[in-house]
A = this chain, B = another copy of it.
Amino acid sequence: MATLKDIARATGLSMNTVSRAIRGSGYVSRQTAELVLKTVRELDYHPNRAAQDLRRRKSTQITVVAESYDYLHIEKLAAIKEYAAECGYTMGVHFTSEDYPQSTFNALLPDILEQNPAGLIIIASSGFIIGKVRELCRKIPCVMITFNGVPDIDCVYIDRAGGVYDAIRYLYGKGRRRIVFCETFRARNRKLGYQRAVRELGIPELIVSGTMKPLSEIRREGEQIAKILASWDNPPDAVQTSDYMASGLLAGFAAAGVEVPRDVSVIGFDDRELAGMLNPPLTTLAQPSAEVGKVSAQMLFERIGGVRKDGPPENIPVPMRLVVRNSA
């Protein structure tokens, strides 16, 4: 790879002049500048970021750490990368994953610190990692993407409670009065939104608990739950639950001769890829993944840029969007 020195030699100028010409900063005659730029192109010169960073004493890379690898993460990564690129930064990525035992957050930390990133975005919700980040953010700007707000850490989270609240009101607006909330893994926030809505609307609180089984069994469980719901003396006219569970509910309702959405409406949660492919296509609350990624990057660069250098931590909820398809 060509270096500044190569350009200097080729043009007969000093490295310094070449450097200024390339950055367009400072005083360089038009002719000199043109000569330099031409030579840069000829030698296919690209400045060395590591050297620049070293000299300027600041890194132009941010690092994203994702806990496990949810499919939806890819949209967050893309949005973060996009925003970072606009700010002139590159993005490194790490995964903490149960599939790869050496990839615990702790094991990753030295690698992350050695990279000396300008900032960190951590997608995680485990108490352990939150604790770690609490220490970490004294040394380096950190923003988390979490399930819930965390008072003393910058973080952005999806307003799951608000999303479900909206969904329940939507169902109510459609005339539904017996709305079941079918609880699944990590549904605490959603449940809160459900409860607030039914209380306000004065309709009965009907909560059914899934057994929090692994993904591969959720569908079957959903089928069974649908059959149980259908057999109630006074069956529900709507259900809110996860997309995964909803896939089972739809199959179970079909088997029980209950028609969706005529007899019962179903609203899912997440808008995973499968939602639009179910039968009928699932009305669901979409995770604003790209938005979350973008907002987290904005927060991070405010800290990095010093605009909000030492301000108090902020928590930003991002609203969900109800994607209306055919199931409700």
Distance, CA A328 to CA B192, complexed state (A): 41
Mark contacts of A266-300 with chain B using CB atoms, 8 A cut-off: 1 yes-contact digit, 0 otherwise. 00000011101111110000000000000000000
Chain B residues positioned under 8 Å from A77 (CB to CB): 69, 93, 95
Interface-forming stretch among A109-117, A147-155, A194-202, A314-322?
A109-117
Chain B residues positioned under 8 Å from A279 (CB to CB): 247, 250-251, 254, 278-279
Select A46's contact among B110, B244, B273, beta carbons within 8 Å.
Answer: B110
Chain B residues positioned under 8 Å from A69 (CB to CB): 74-75, 77-78
Closest residue to A277 on the B side, CB-wise?
Answer: B247
Tell me whether A51 is interfacial, beta carbon within 8 Å.
yes
Select A111's contact among B75, B85, B94, beta carbons within 8 Å.
Answer: B85
Select A92's contact among B91, B100, B139, beta carbons within 8 Å.
Answer: B91
Closest residue to A108 on the B side, CB-wise?
Answer: B85
Chosen A-B contacts, 22 in total, with CB atoms closer than 8 Å, are A48-B54, A48-B116, A49-B114, A50-B116, A69-B75, A71-B71, A71-B72, A71-B74, A73-B74, A81-B93, A82-B95, A82-B103, A85-B103, A90-B92, A90-B115, A91-B94, A219-B276, A219-B281, A272-B274, A274-B274, A274-B278, A278-B278
